[in-house]
Amino acid sequence: MVARASVKRMLAKANLDCRDYAGPHVGRPMPEPASLSANWEDYLERIHELIEAKGYARVADIAEQLEIAPASVSTMVQRLAKAGLLNYERYRGLTLTPTGQAAALGIRHRHRVLTEFLTALGVPADQVEQDVEGMEHHMSSITVEKIEALLPRLGELLSAPRRRSRSRS
């Protein structure tokens, strides 16, 4: 389990704060995937998506999204609350703390960059989502930043007409 203090230290070390997060983190590193477990990241990502879509997230909604039993979700939500990543009141909705919000935004950003990268490579959409879910928890912020920097050039290279090599006879 990740303690509240270690999550805050991790985000502080990464210089990531949701108060000044305004979209893609140009020039600021994201939290390393090793800092939070893949399971915790999945929960934070889904909770953030639910809050954006509905204005709130409930245990039942998270369970449905992740296809997990509500009792298991309730246990994990309590752990995330204890770690300082969300505010949870039994039988009510839950909200992300500033630390949880910053972590969720970093996770969502990494997901978006990897999705754009695989899409640019021509990977079929259904395969992109499956691959991103497998890759996103294991990539360092440095790798994601390099991929993000490559995306504009990659788009140019892939959309440029190919030149045929002339064979001399």
Percent of the chain with pLDDT over 90: 49
The per-residue b/e assignment along 75-87, b for 16 or more CB within 10 angstroms, e otherwise, is ebbebbbebbbbe
85-127: per-residue pLDDT in tens? 999 877 778 999 999 999 999 999 999 999 999 998 889 999 9
Structure tokens at 114: 């990897």
Structure tokens at 73: 């979700």
Could you confirm whether domain 32-152 is CATH 1.20.120.450? no
**Residue 168 binned pLDDT confidence (cut-offs 50, 70, 90):** low
Q: What does the chain come to in residues?
A: 169
Report whether pLDDT(47) > 90: yes
Q: Hey, which residues does 125 pair with through a beta bridge?
A: none
